[in-house]
Structure 1
Amino acid sequence: MKLWDKGISTDKKIDLFTVGNDRSLDEQLAHYDVVASKAHAKMLGKIGMLKTGEVDALLKELEVIDKIIISGEFHIEDEFEDMHSKIEFMLTEALGDTGKKIHTARSRNDQVLVAMQLFLKDELAKIMEDSYNLFDLLLSLAEQHKDTMLPGYTHLQVAMPSSFGLWFSAYAECLVDDMQFLQAAYRVADQNPLGSAAGYGSSFPIDRSFTTQELGFSTLKYNVVAAQMGRGKVERASSEAMAMLSSTVSRLAMDICLYLSQNFNFISFPDELTTGSSIMPHKKNPDVFELIRAKCNKLQSVPNQIALLTTNLPSGYHRDMQLLKEILLPAIQEMKSCLEMMHFSLKSIQVNAKILDDSRYDYLFSVDTLNEKVLNGLPFRDAYKQMGEAIEKGEFIPVKTARHTHEGSLGNLCLNEIRKKMEQVYIGKS
């Protein structure tokens, strides 16, 4: 069954090529098509296109279909092109002519749009929740290890003293920025496109404000052409937000891989969170974090894929847009799994509390030692020159008692302020 079927069969090769793996992807979106169909049926009843009994029958049967979908027993067989045709077939099979009326005043185009945007709202909300949970863990770890010193690096050279508190909370505050992008993507998705039909509206007297409220959208995508042009844009916005988040998570995974190596030995994990070697019995490999790094780096390519797919398309609908699903839907699942595994593993991190006991890290304190001379009245440039000469001659004696007190420094992590910032952003998600 095809919604556009006029009784003329299409070559099987054309069907196979044009449908692709759309059926399996649609099974992830089918629940949202049912949700939108319920709102549409109620609206058709409100404007007199359906009788009360017809609306009630449609809602009851859509509820039955939704339960099948949620149970995992909903499948789109080869004779159906997509979720829309399968759901309409099920309604018609159960309700006869009443089932055929569900497509009144809408197109498959706005069905896809509204289902995708409802789906993205839910998925972005889950990703924001997972991001917040990771943020919360990082801040807890920062508080727990705020006084445990850690070498800071620039150019991968020993630079200045840091701490695990500074390191953990740095990634926590980076997640605040990522949350801003997720919020922006959520707002783009939170506009009702239903009623735009094929992209040019309908001659039926539909009530789009009603469906907007019924579906829980905060606003309407008013212009029907703009609603159709939003396809691709909402997916790109979501992928850009995930790419930003992926960048943060990937970088954290890289740090963990580095710090876990024997050459650094800054951190460790229980044996059950690492893997071994087939020939080297001493190995404890950070496979989980290497895969998180790789998956998150891969996720950063998704916005470019969507951009290339949609660049220079004229206004209106084009079949190219079907491929958006096969790019974005797996990426969303990958993003959630990376966040889940990072949170799961990071809970068990063990830190080395005696890293700076090793004399190789004495040079971390060269800047603090220099600053101490400046505080005692020596001009900065003279103090810098003296320090350089002492280091060259092997006469450097580090001052390890200097205190960093300004906001965001070693001695003043501002964890409460960072938490308040995140709360302010996160609470605004809906």
Structure 2
Amino acid sequence: MKLWDKGFSTDKKIDRFTVGNDRELDLLLAKYDVIASSAHAKMLGKVGLISEEEVKVLVKELKRISKDIEKGNFTIEESFEDMHSKIEFMLTEKLGDTGKKIHTARSRNDQVLVAMQLYLKNELTEIQSGVKELFDLLVNLAAQHKSVLLPGYTHLQIAMPSSFGLWFSAYAESLIDDLQFIQAAFKIADQNPLGSAAGYGSSFQIDRSFTTTEMGFETLKYNVVAAQMGRGKVEKATAFGISSVAATLSKLAMDICLYMSQNFDFITFPNELTTGSSIMPHKKNPDVFELIRAKCNKIQAVPNQLTLITNNLPSGYHRDLQLVKEVIVPAIQEIKACLEMMTFSLKEIEINQAILEDPKYDYLFSVDTLNELVKSGMPFRDAYKSMGKAIENGTFKPKRNIVHTHEGSLGNLCLDGIREKMENVISK
């Protein structure tokens, strides 16, 4: 069944090519089409296009379909083009002519739009929860290990002392920035496009404000052409949000892979979180973090993919837009999985407590030792040259009892301030 069926069928090869993997992806979106269809049915009754009895039976049957979807009993057979045609078929099969009325005053175009935006709102909310869970873990780890020093690097050369407190809380605070992108995407998705029909509205006197409230959208996408133009744009906004999270996770995963190597030996994980080698019995490989790194790098390409699919399309609907679904939906599932695995694994991290006792890290303290000369009255440039000569001729003696007290330094992590900043973002 196709919603555009005119009594003749298309070539099977054309059908396979144009439908693509919509049926598979629509299993994730079907419940949102049901939510929108229920709101639409109530609106049709409110404006007198169908009777109250018809509203009642339509909503009841849609609830039954929703339960089937929740239980995993909803399928989209090859005889159906997508979730929309299958759901309308089920309504018609059960309710006869009443089921055929559900498509009054809407198009598959605004059906897709509203289902996708409801889906994105839900997924972005779940991603925010995943980000917050990882944030809480990182801040707690920062507090727990704040006094354990760690080498800081620039150009992958030993630079200055850092700490596990700084390292963990750096990623925690970075996640706050990522959440701002997620919330911006949510705000764009939180505009009701239903009622824009094929992109030019309807001659029926529908009530779009009613469906906006009924489905829990913050506002209406007023202009019907603008609503249709939002397809691809809202997905791209979501892609920028999840790619920002992915960038942070990828960098953290890279640090972990580096720090786990025997050459660094800063951290380790229990055997059950690592993998081995088929021929080298000593190996503890960070496969989970390598996959997080790779998957998150792949996710960072998604905004560009969507740009290339949708770029320079004129206003109005074009079949190109079907492809945005197969790009954004898997990317959303991937970022959720990466967040979950990062949080799950980091809970078991084991910290090397005595990294800087190794003499090879003595030069980490050159700046702090130099600063002591400045504090005693020596001009900075003279102190710098003096320290350089001491390092060059091998007489450098590091000052290891360092004291950093300014905001955000290793002796003053400002974890309460970082927590407050996150709470302010979440409260929006």
Which residue in the other structure is 2:423 paired with?
Answer: 423
Deviation at 1:402, TM superposition (A): 2.7
Which residue in the other structure is 1:142 paired with?
Answer: 142
**In percent, how many aligned pairs have the same letter?**
73
Deviation at 1:421, TM superposition (A): 0.4
How far apart are the structure 2 equivalents of 1:394 and 1:9? 85
Q: How does 1:317-332 map to 2 (within 5 A)?
A: 317-332=317-332
How far apart are the structure 1 equivalents of 2:360 and 2:176? 35
Q: How does 1:214-253 map to 2 (within 5 A)?
A: 214-253=214-253
Deviation at 1:401, TM superposition (A): 1.9
How far apart are the structure 1 equivalents of 2:90 and 2:101? 13
How far apart are the structure 2 equivalents of 1:270 and 1:44? 59
Q: Which residue identity lines up with residue 416 of structure 1 in the other structure?
A: D
Per-residue CA distance 1:252-291 (angstroms, 9 max, x = gap): 0000000000000000100000011111111000000000
Q: Which runs of 4+ in 1 moved over 3 A?
A: none
Q: Which residue identity lines up with residue 35 of structure 2 in the other structure?
A: V
Which residue in the other structure is 2:357 paired with?
Answer: 357
Which residue in the other structure is 2:24 paired with?
Answer: 24
Q: Which residue identity lines up with residue 215 of structure 1 in the other structure?
A: M
CA contact (8 A) 1:275 1:286 kept: yes
CA contact (8 A) 1:196 1:225 kept: yes
TM-score of the aligned structures, taking structure 1 as reference length: 0.99
How far apart are the structure 1 equivalents of 2:356 and 2:427? 40
Which residue in the other structure is 1:85 paired with?
Answer: 85
How far apart are the structure 1 equivalents of 2:34 and 2:256? 44
Q: How does 1:33-52 map to 2 (within 5 A)?
A: 33-52=33-52
2:392 matched to 1:392? yes
CA contact (8 A) 1:110 1:194 kept: yes
Which residue in the other structure is 2:62 paired with?
Answer: 62
Deviation at 1:73, TM superposition (A): 1.1
Which residue in the other structure is 1:99 paired with?
Answer: 99
Which residue in the other structure is 1:277 paired with?
Answer: 277
Q: How does 1:309-324 map to 2 (within 5 A)?
A: 309-324=309-324
How far apart are the structure 1 equivalents of 2:79 and 2:272? 47
Structure 1 runs not aligned, ≥5 long = none
Structure 2 runs not aligned, ≥5 long = none
How far apart are the structure 1 equivalents of 2:427 and 2:273? 33
How far apart are the structure 1 equivalents of 2:197 and 2:242? 29
CA contact (8 A) 1:27 1:75 kept: yes
CA contact (8 A) 1:372 1:402 kept: no
2:329 matched to 1:300? no
The DSSP-based 3-state class of the residue aligned with 2:407 is coil
Aligned length: 428
Which residue in the other structure is 1:121 paired with?
Answer: 121
CA contact (8 A) 1:113 1:231 kept: yes
Deviation at 1:20, TM superposition (A): 1.1
Per-residue CA distance 1:281-325 (angstroms, 9 max, x = gap): 110000000000000000000111000000000000000010111
Which residue in the other structure is 1:75 paired with?
Answer: 75
Per-residue CA distance 1:337-395 (angstroms, 9 max, x = gap): 00000000000001001001001001000000111110110000000000000000000
How far apart are the structure 2 equivalents of 1:366 and 1:426? 41
How far apart are the structure 2 equivalents of 1:402 and 1:133? 33
How far apart are the structure 1 equivalents of 2:320 and 2:402? 61
